[in-house]
Structure 1
Amino acid sequence: MTTVTVSDKGQVVIPASIRRNLGIKPGTELEFELEGTTIRVNVRHNVAQSDIDSGFLMFRAKPSGGKRRLADFDVAVEMAKARSK
C-alpha cells in the first residue's frame, strides 16, 4: 500500500504505477464515493462515439428467395449461431 500526503488545496498525487495500471491520463475523470470512512475512487473511461457505418455488414441475412422477414435480421440469433460454430 502506498501512502500519499494531501496538499493544502486538498490535492493528492496518484502513484505512477496505479495511473499506468488503470490507464489514468491527463483529463481522465474520476468519481469519488464515500462509504462510511472509506473513499472509493472510480475511473470513468470515455467511450469513443461510434457511427452507424462502423457496424455495416457485421451481420447478413441469407437471401430468402422472396419477401424478407424481420426474423431474417435477428442479431441475437445470428450471434448465437456464430458462437456455436
Structure 2
Amino acid sequence: MRVTEKGQVTIPRNVRNNLGIVPGSEVEFVLQGDSAVLRRVERSADEREREVQELTEHLRRHKGSMALGDLDGEAFYKLLRD
C-alpha cells in the first residue's frame, strides 16, 4: 500500500473488519522495534461520558442560534433522519 503526501494510508477492509474499525473509530500505531502495530483505541466510559457532557453543553450554549428558514424544529429533525 502506498502512503500519500499527507502520510495517509487506506486500512484494508479485512483489517478494519477484524479490528472493529468503523468510521469515527480511533486508532493508534505502536512502534515495536522496526515495525509498527495498528490497534483500535478503546475509550473508557469516563472519557465517553465527558465527551457527551461537552457536546450537551455546546448544544445548550448554541440553542436557538441556527436559522432554519421556514422549517420548524420537527421538520428539521425529519430532514436529518431522512
- TM-score w.r.t. length of structure 1: 0.46
More helix by share: 2
- TM-score w.r.t. length of structure 2: 0.48
Query: Which one has a bigger Cα radius of gyration?
Result: 1
